[in-house]
Amino acid sequence: SRPSVFCQEVSFLFSTGGAHAFLFPFTYNSPMKVTWRRRGATYGWIVGLALTCAGCVTQLPPVLDVTEMKGPLAVGRVVVVLTGDRSRIYGPVVRSFEVEDQKTHERFNVEILSDDRYFAIALPPGDYRLNRVQISEGPFMSMAQVNAEFSIAEDAVTYLGTWRFGVDSPGYGRMVALSMVMDQNDQSEADAFLTKEYPAFQGTPVTVHLPEPSNMEMRLYEVMPYPRYPRYFQRHVW
């Protein structure tokens, strides 16, 4: 639907720092004759859009409490590594990822905040698309657009595999490689996680559905401005 598409567009605008151009549309060489009233109106418009789009996405914890389960369980693992030289104090972690229901266009944001973590979320059965992933390195945040599709079975636990993100060193044209796998070792570790966290699911049918395409490479965009951090940390625009 058009409202959901609008929310996605404005959400990406804010997440990649595009709103900065709206809030500060002036250059040092342009005359600063705009009144504070006009600036306030512009700022209010942008904030209003942000609040509107905040309601477009359902926030999900990485591991769902069994008492809050309202749909089939989807289980997976997220791992991120730096593939090049380390030029920052902080290593990369996956901050969050977003999936979208292909039929209703409802979006779900799963907060990970780790470089290696299992997730277990409840989603209505149907077809989904992994839309984007956000990477954090201390105060630095980056985002990549993803396009990988998967399905959630109705009466079974769905294993989505291990999602391995390989992040380039900071620099212009930075990329992130994504490989989604499920080998025998991954399967055994996922079974152990499921047994520990959800013992009531023992005996429940399990289906493996890796998102497709399972291998891809995306451009990683640095997000600006960095909230609640000094301007010193805002000098990098990769």
pLDDT 10s digits, 138-177: 888 999 999 999 999 888 999 999 999 999 988 888 999 9
23, 27, 28, 33 alpha-carbon torsion, rounded to 10°: -70
Lowest mean pLDDT among 68-82, 113-127, 206-220: 68-82
Distance CA 224, CA 20 (A): 8
User: For residue 11, which phi and psi values (nearest 5 degrees)?
Assistant: -60, -45
- Nearest CA to 13 out of 186, 5, 112, 70 is that of 5
> How many Cα neighbours within 13 Å face the side chain of 80?
23
pLDDT of 15 reads 46
Mean pLDDT of 214-238: 66
Predicted confidence band of residue 58 (pLDDT cuts 50, 70, 90): very high
Say whether pLDDT at 8 is over 60. no
Q: For residue 226, what pLDDT is reported?
A: 52
Burial of 25: CB neighbours in 10 Å, binned 0-12, 13-18, 19+: exposed
- Which band of pLDDT confidence, cut at 50, 70 and 90, is reported for residue 7? low
What is the pLDDT at residue 198?
A: 92
Tell me what the mean pLDDT of segment 61-66 comes to: 90
Q: Kindly tell me if the per-residue pLDDT of 33 is higher than 50.
A: no
What percent of the chain has pLDDT above 90? 51
Length of the chain: 238
Q: What is the mean pLDDT of residues 83-111?
A: 91
pTM across the whole model: 0.73
